Chain A
Amino acid sequence: DAGVTQSPTHLIKTRGQQVTLRCSPKSGHDTVSWYQQALGQGPQFIFQYYEEEERQRGNFPDRFSGHQFPNYSSELNVNALLLGDSALYLCASSKLSGVTDTQYFGPGTRLTVL
């Protein structure tokens, strides 16, 4: 039973560029959440997708956008990259069941913006 997978593992971009990160949820899960973890900090919630729609959003600017596909996989897009966007981006999947479900995390994508 495959867990949550993310690609790529590492990425280096320059300021102003755009980036796309990808996530495949755990088998049987239909909800994907994205988190940003700056060095030495706890993860911060970016947004959550269910049924191909953004259901919840944290305090992140519109430069952060996402998408969920019919197979439940998801992408996180960040436009006009800033140095402060350098972080570990974590994807978590869960099964939406009307009550909170445990979120299982992938290994993350480490983004460096130069």
Chain B
Amino acid sequence: AQKVTQAQTEISVVEKEDVTLDCVYETRDTTYYLFWYKQPPSGELVFLIRRNSFDEQNEISGRYSWNFQKSTSSFNFTITASQVVDSAVYFCALSELIYNQGGKLIFGQGTELSVKP
């Protein structure tokens, strides 16, 4: 069965610190997608990144970077020089693929990040 584990329930850092959010997934599929979403207190899930299982290149977008390692089934997310506005709950998700039916998302429990000034 597919599963996503985010072992860190809460993380608290001081502004400008770097922080890494861990995500470990389980799947038997050879083709799958991984996602990160951000959920601020308003509740709306904001899409951050999508990665497919064939592309293990790390990605950087501004202060955000992602490290995908199939060997350890991990897809970790790092925020460099954190800011108060980064405070939110972050979810890692795995997409189960059924051809031509889109994919349902399987979410982890989320990591609540608190960045203090």
- Which A residues lie at the B interface, using CB under 8 A? 31, 33, 35, 40-45, 48, 50, 55-56, 58, 88, 90, 92, 94, 96, 98-108, 110
Q: How close is B62's CB to chain A, nearest CB, in angstroms? A: 19
**Pairwise interchain contact B91-A102, C-beta atoms closer than 8 A:** no
Per DSSP, chain B at the interface is strand
Choose from A43, A90, A100 the contact partner of B103 (Cβ within 8 Å): A100
Closest to B112 in A: A40
Choose from B33, B91, B102 the contact partner of A55 (Cβ within 8 Å): B102
- Which B residues lie at the A interface, using CB under 8 A? 4, 33, 35, 37, 42-47, 50, 91, 93, 95, 97-110
Bound together, the chains give a CA A100 to CA B104 distance in angstroms of 9
**Pairwise interchain contact B105-A43, C-beta atoms closer than 8 A:** yes
**Pairwise interchain contact A100-B44, C-beta atoms closer than 8 A:** no
Bound together, the chains give a CA A29 to CA B22 distance in angstroms of 31
**Pairwise interchain contact B97-A100, C-beta atoms closer than 8 A:** yes
Contacts of B91 in A (CB 8 A): 42-43
12 A–B contacts from the bound complex (CB under 8 Å): A31-B102, A41-B109, A42-B110, A44-B107, A45-B106, A50-B102, A55-B101, A55-B102, A56-B98, A101-B102, A101-B103, A105-B45
**Pairwise interchain contact A107-B104, C-beta atoms closer than 8 A:** no
Assuming A50-B102, A56-B104, A102-B50, what are 11 further A-B pairs, CB within 8 angstroms? A42-B107, A42-B108, A44-B107, A45-B106, A48-B102, A56-B101, A98-B99, A103-B47, A105-B46, A107-B44, A110-B43
A102-B47 contact in complex given A33-B104, A42-B109, A96-B102, C-beta closer than 8 Å: yes
Bound together, the chains give a CA A1 to CA B99 distance in angstroms of 28
